[in-house]
Structure 1
Amino acid sequence: MYISNITIENYRSFKSIKVDFHEGINLLIGQNNAGKSNLLRAMAIIFDGSAKKQLTVDDFNNDILLDDLKKAPPKIVIAVSLSQSENENLMGDELVTVSNWLTTLEEPYQAKIQYEFFLPNSERERYLNKVCSLDSREKIWDLIKSDFIRMYINKIWVGNPENQVVVDGENLSKFDFQFLDAIRDVERDMFSGKNTLLKNVIDFFMDYEIKSDNSITVEKQKEQIQMRRDEFSSTAQDLILKLQTRLKRGNKEILSYANEIGASFDKAEPSFEGKITESEIYSILQLIVKQETGMTIPISHNGLGYNNLIFMSLLLAKMQVDSDGKYLGSNAKVFPILAIEEPEAHLHPTMQYQFVDFLKTNIKSNKVKQVFITSHSTHISAATTLDDIICFYKNNGNIQVAYPGKAFTFKDDKGKKIVQNKSKKYVQRFFDATKSNMLFAEKIILVEGIAEQLLLPVFFEYLNKSLEKSHVAVINVGGKYFEHFLYLFDSNNEYTINRKVACITDLDPARRKKSDNENQNKYKTCYPYEYNSSIDEFEYMYNELMNKYGKGKHENILSFVQPEKYGKTLEYQLVLENPLSRIMITESIANSKELNDLMNLFENNETLSKLMNRLSSSDENTRIIESLKRADASWSEDDKKKALLASRYLNSVGKGENALELASALKDNLELKDKVGYQKFVVPLYIADAIEWVCD
């Protein structure tokens, strides 16, 4: 059995929402105030016996319309559906526990439990009479708070809620809902055996080598454990006798005061005796950290992160205790649920990965049935599978839910189900902490490589925009692999995250020699001015992978590329649009003197011929010169000079190192704006368009 979904109406941030779950880990991610914590609290209202069932006016959703408030008193509904697990034993305790909750009898069975917080029908007419003349929601809420909230009642129904069958408290108590909220003091709860949690765990795991020995009968186990208890009792009594012997003389002195004040009478006098039980000894046990050197330190001296992990391990141990039928009999829990808010609060990224593995191990060993985690950590999202992730986000002020693992399954135009397993596996494989940031961002720019990733934040500043304030994430997909990731955001399909996504890609003109055997001659990159210049000898192509996301073709995804006639790559375009910018010539760049000379010649308005003459002797430079000479008449001399500069620059840069240096140089230059030494820099138009669009 597992919790398959929850439906919430009018509770806190939720006006109306349904969220689907699956067995194992359910990771709830998303921006602040998107409802993640409120969802866990809604579950706690039903399953946590210590949670308050009687709510307040502040627990109602504030977006209930005025007309709706006038038609009927507001009501909070939280409904949880449970479904049969794939390999569930139908003769087990789980089905017995929810047998009265069933809404579907055939396999897989479905069960339902529903909490309602509402105004009784006896008060309904009085409510309607009082609100009919009120003209604002604020006045109605004030009225509810002053006159009606104390009249509200809560009920928990099971099965079909229309039948109003009240839940049996004994069955509900079989659910063990453990909730660790974001603000927790785990050290306070686990210092010593005085704490109930630690005491219960110690008691259960005492003599565990006997309790877990399946080679002997239960009766034999009890016999061996009783022998140990008798031995402990005998040893403890010896200790007490030794204490009494050591107190013999002192006891007379202590009791002499009692005699003097008349406390001894009727031939009776005070004395001392005692008895020690095992559970009383637990209180003197304290958790410590034992180091490899043999040194020990108190748990209070440990780091918060480690203490959180230790506390969670104790909590899971307690859940194992509470679900052990041999130990607790009919009082044992049958469905342990662990809910954790923001586990990353005290955990280093490496420990976050270990934390997720730790939970997976405990799920496999059935120490917990389902785990619900809220998180803002890209490390935790990267450590889980796409199927584990449930993404909360706001769209036009409304909370929406997306399921990244399901985004690769959709229907085509004819209604046929399509599953893009290849793309799903690709995204899962390369979904590291950096790339998983796309699930948290409000707006996204996908880029091909490290150069764009390093330079985009600086380009934002040159356009007087802030990457952070615009809530934009720049994600490097490591090549022309946009399509794999775009399944997560395609608003035409179910389960996706409806976010603005700009894809910045290179035009990459290419050509190949015409041949009967096309497989032998692959396309090779060419310069823009070579494109279609020798159509008898070559076949040509542009990068058309992102054409389907061109302007006006998709609701929330748009591709941006260099102009067809003049474009090639980012590095080429940088110099094409900044032919006089010496900032472009960084320390690591090759041919720096030659590039400087070429820029000087261009600045002095020298002829194309002079720029060609300055090129060093090489096969590639000869190709550039000859190709520019053959370029068609639509290429002006100025176009050709810029193209020569851009081509030479492109052949002189190394992608990563140069981009890092260029980003730094551009940043330094920006600090000189309106001062002496500032150099004008133009963000390539196609990138500027992408930034403007995504920030709009």
Structure 2
Amino acid sequence: MYLHNIKIWNFRKVGTSDKSGEIRIDNPGIDLTLNPHLNVLIGENNSGKTTIVDAIRLVLGSQAFDYYKVEDKDFHFGAAGRSREMRIECTIKGFDADEAGAFLEWISFDEKKKFELRVWLYAYVRDNRVIVNVKAGADSEGTFMDAAAKDLLRLTYLKPLRDAESELSPGYKSRLAQILINDPLFKDQFGPENQKLKHTLEKYVSNANKLIRDYFTLDSLDKDDIHEILEGTSGGKALKDKLEGFLNEFFHIDESQDPYFHISGSELASILRRLGLSLEENRSGLGALNKLFIAAELLLLQGKGFSGLRLLMVEELEAHLHPQAQVRVINALQNTRRDFNNQFILTTHSTTLASKLELNNFILTHSGQAFSLGHGQTGLYVDDYEFLERFLDATQANLFFAKGVLLVEGAGENILVPAIAEIIGRPLDKYGVSVVSVGSKAFLRYSKIFKRNDEATLPIKVAIITDLDIEQIDVGNGTIQSKKRGKMKLVPNAVEESKKLVSQYDSEDGRIKTYHSPLWTMEYDLATGNFAEYMNCATYIAQLAKSRIASHNFKGITNHEAFVRIRKARDFYGKWQEKNLSQEAIAFRIYERLANNKASKAVTAQWLAKMLLWHKSKVKELLLADPNFKYITDAIYHVTKPADGNNGK
């Protein structure tokens, strides 16, 4: 059996889908169907991942029997104030006949005539007290479950920033003891006439206690099988005699005392609570202990004698693990899920994990909502999933943790766009916006992650910044033409080309929008506008960097060298103007350095960004007035636009 679905009404960040605050069967704030095996909750901080995790814990309980009390602050605070009632409902499926037998009073059948168990928590506030009921059943009333049935639904939970050393240490509430006691190795065994047999560990402790008692009572320790380990030691009889003497002074003469030293708790449960689990004699690092703790939990979930819900829920799997270790652990978990049919619910902030896991297993949380990225839920086709699993890397995986996403074509835009955002007063980090370089025109595959096939609206804005790509050719005499398939032709109508591009990428709800350069590439088009001189200087500096790399001279460009190049570049620009060259012809000469691979687009963008930031206060108004920069600034405004509709210009 596995957790198939969770619905949440008015719990913490999650309200109701219609914002009414009234709990009805058709308006849960979250209605999330889970995969039977692996589920990964991703999203920015405070987006609702822990809300979902804690909701599941409240209904099902945990193997560690952690106590969780519903408090007033757990009720959703919405437009109408603090709600007075909440509901969380879990649906369990996948039962075999034996599992279903344990829930006969509450189990029902789904539309496919398969076993289904609905368990829900309903809480409300009365007279400043929070009343909580957990019920199950096929009808709306339900009945309370007995303890034996509820115990079969308990999940295994690893909290974030867990103290693995403490969890694996001896103690009355030892988690290690809870894990071990559920293994068949430590179950009660009975002999003839149903007589309970001593466990081997109990026999070992009994023998150890006999040795300890003899150590403190015998005058001399003879060499035999049981005392061989004590041979040659003086024993502790004198110490015990002193203790006995003090006691005899404290008691009446007819109350003779015979104290003895021993290992307390000789029953198996007590012995297990005194066991610890370590990797080495020296204290292990947090990462190693975290892996040991996860491995110990898997002992319980994968035990042959385990009966119950095999659900492991881990918050921040990456806690204390470096990227390579994260990948090894998640690969191992994915292998074990196939071998033992476990179900995993993980939360992560790790871009490394987000880039290595199958997109089909992701659940994107945002503003108290949850969106499955599984097959059929997004605008992605099967081959899109395969493409993204091949090419989506750790840097691009930032898009899963953003409030807004800027998809750009290459490294040049990736460098320049954040600088422009800072200049116009929209620093992307302050607005939670990620810039994702796709390295090609694969925008559609990435943007379709955020398109929904269901009725839900994913409230993340996406801007695609791309080139219109109408190639320009300078045929002399200031005449610019376009070339397609090697043939010269008139420049295509930019408006028509724009419509084609927009229709290909934009979403109907306006959340995903395309912003393209006016004519050709970003670099060429910027060279035709107010910042042509800046582009000329940037490409000229980049040309020096390229020539050094070509000659295996990897010395960087100093600011002094850059200023010298800037003066020379200005001289070139002045001579072009003296020749009365059109702005397009000048732009072509600037862009030629990039087109002929004499300068790097990335280095050009880096130096252009530096120069713009050097003159930040002076260039802001000029930049906003430049029509060739408008598509970039419009894209930035789109993904940083406040909810009230004020674009901040």
Q: What is the TM-score of this pair, normalised by structure 1?
A: 0.70
- Correspondent of 1:579 among 483, 507, 532: 532
Tell me which amino acid in the other structure corresponds to 1:499: I
Whether the 8 Å contact between 1:304 and 1:346 is mirrored in structure 2 is yes
Tell me which amino acid in the other structure corresponds to 2:410: G
What's the counterpart of residue 41 of structure 2? 28
Tell me which amino acid in the other structure corresponds to 1:580: E
1:112 positional shift: 0.9
Tell me how far apart the structure 2 counterparts of residues 343 and 193 of structure 1 sit (CA, whole Å).
25
- Correspondent of 2:347 among 369, 374, 381: 374
Q: Deviations over 1:245-281 (max 9, x none)?
A: 2344555555445555664427x55254757848566
Distance 1:464 1:75, change over 3 A: closer
Tell me which amino acid in the other structure corresponds to 1:159: G
1:511-526 aligned within 5 A: none
- Correspondent of 2:588 among 643, 647, 650: 643
- Correspondent of 1:561 among 516, 538, 554: 516
SS in 2 for 1:639: helix
What's the counterpart of residue 113 of structure 1? 119
Tell me which amino acid in the other structure corresponds to 1:639: E
Deviates more, 1:32-41 or 1:492-501: 492-501
- Correspondent of 2:294 among 308, 312, 316: 312
1:654-673 aligned within 5 A: 654-655=599-600, 658-660=601-603, 662-664=605-607, 666-667=609-610, 670-671=613-614, 673=616
Q: Deviations over 1:561-589 (max 9, x none)?
A: 222xxx32233234333332323322314
Tell me how far apart the structure 2 counterparts of residues 598 and 362 of structure 1 sit (CA, whole Å).
62
SS in 2 for 1:37: helix
Tell me how far apart the structure 1 counterparts of residues 461 and 169 of structure 2 sit (CA, whole Å).
49
Whether the 8 Å contact between 1:207 and 1:225 is mirrored in structure 2 is no
1:662 positional shift: 4.2
1:468 positional shift: 0.8
Distance 1:485 1:407, change over 3 A: farther
Deviates more, 1:476-485 or 1:497-506: 497-506
Q: Deviations over 1:653-696 (max 9, x none)?
A: 444xx524641563265235569x99x98773432332233333
Q: Does 1:191 align with 2:169?
A: yes
Q: Deviations over 1:270-329 (max 9, x none)?
A: 254757848566677544433xxxxx303xxx33233222222223324456xx53xxxx
SS in 2 for 1:401: strand
Tell me how far apart the structure 2 counterparts of residues 169 and 234 of structure 1 sit (CA, whole Å).
37
Q: Does 1:342 align with 2:316?
A: yes
Tell me how far apart the structure 1 counterparts of residues 272 and 501 of structure 2 sit (CA, whole Å).
67
Tell me which amino acid in the other structure corresponds to 2:282: I
1:647 positional shift: 2.9
Distance 1:230 1:182, change over 3 A: closer
1:99 positional shift: 5.9
1:102 positional shift: 1.5
Q: Does 1:462 align with 2:423?
A: yes
Aligned-pair identity (%): 22
Q: Deviations over 1:517-542 (max 9, x none)?
A: xxxxxxxxxx9923179998769879
Q: How many residues align?
A: 573
SS in 2 for 1:663: helix
- Correspondent of 2:106 among 100, 103, 107: 100
What's the counterpart of residue 297 of structure 1? 282
Whether the 8 Å contact between 1:580 and 1:603 is mirrored in structure 2 is no
Q: Does 1:81 align with 2:91?
A: yes
Tell me which amino acid in the other structure corresponds to 1:556: R
Distance 1:153 1:561, change over 3 A: closer
Distance 1:407 1:117, change over 3 A: same
Tell me how far apart the structure 2 counterparts of residues 48 and 305 of structure 1 sit (CA, whole Å).
27
Q: Deviations over 1:37-86 (max 9, x none)?
A: 122222222111646676333222222648xx9xxx932211111222xx
What's the counterpart of residue 522 of structure 2? 570
Tell me how far apart the structure 2 counterparts of residues 235 and 261 of structure 1 sit (CA, whole Å).
30
What's the counterpart of residue 400 of structure 1? 369
1:461 positional shift: 2.5
Whether the 8 Å contact between 1:244 and 1:273 is mirrored in structure 2 is no
What's the counterpart of residue 74 of structure 2? 59
What's the counterpart of residue 506 of structure 1? 467
- Correspondent of 1:691 among 624, 636, 640: 636
Whether the 8 Å contact between 2:168 and 2:293 is mirrored in structure 1 is yes
Q: Does 1:383 align with 2:356?
A: yes
1:473-492 aligned within 5 A: 473-490=434-451
- Correspondent of 1:270 among 254, 258, 272: 258
Q: Deviations over 1:120-164 (max 9, x none)?
A: xxxxxxxxxxxxxxxxxxxxxxxx6xxx233x5332222234243
Deviates more, 1:44-53 or 1:443-452: 44-53
Distance 1:303 1:94, change over 3 A: farther
1:390 positional shift: 0.8
> Which blocks of at least 5 consecutive residues in structure 2 are unaligned?
17-28, 219-234, 549-561, 642-649
Tell me how far apart the structure 2 counterparts of residues 26 and 533 of structure 1 sit (CA, whole Å).
47
Whether the 8 Å contact between 1:443 and 1:499 is mirrored in structure 2 is yes
1:60-459 aligned within 5 A: 60-63=75-78, 65=80, 74-84=84-94, 90-94=96-100, 96-97=102-103, 100-104=106-110, 106-118=112-124, 148-150=127-129, 153-182=131-160, 184-192=162-170, 196-201=174-179, 233-234=206-207, 237-238=210-211, 240-245=213-218, 246-248=235-237, 251-252=240-241, 254-259=243-248, 263-265=252-254, 268-270=256-258, 272=260, 277=266, 279=268, 286-290=276-280, 296-298=281-283, 302-320=284-302, 324-325=304-305, 333-366=307-340, 369-394=342-367, 399-406=368-375, 420-459=381-420
Distance 1:65 1:304, change over 3 A: same
RMSD of the alignment, in Å? Answer: 4.3
Q: What is the TM-score of this pair, normalised by structure 2?
A: 0.75
Distance 1:646 1:237, change over 3 A: same
Distance 1:671 1:62, change over 3 A: same
Whether the 8 Å contact between 1:81 and 1:111 is mirrored in structure 2 is yes
- Correspondent of 2:481 among 521, 524, 530: 530
Tell me how far apart the structure 2 counterparts of residues 172 and 539 of structure 1 sit (CA, whole Å).
75
Whether the 8 Å contact between 1:445 and 1:473 is mirrored in structure 2 is yes
Q: Deviations over 1:621-674 (max 9, x none)?
A: xxxxxxxxxxxxxxxx3433333333345324444xx52464156326523556
What's the counterpart of residue 224 of structure 2? none
Whether the 8 Å contact between 1:403 and 1:495 is mirrored in structure 2 is no
Distance 1:351 1:550, change over 3 A: closer
Tell me which amino acid in the other structure corresponds to 1:10: N
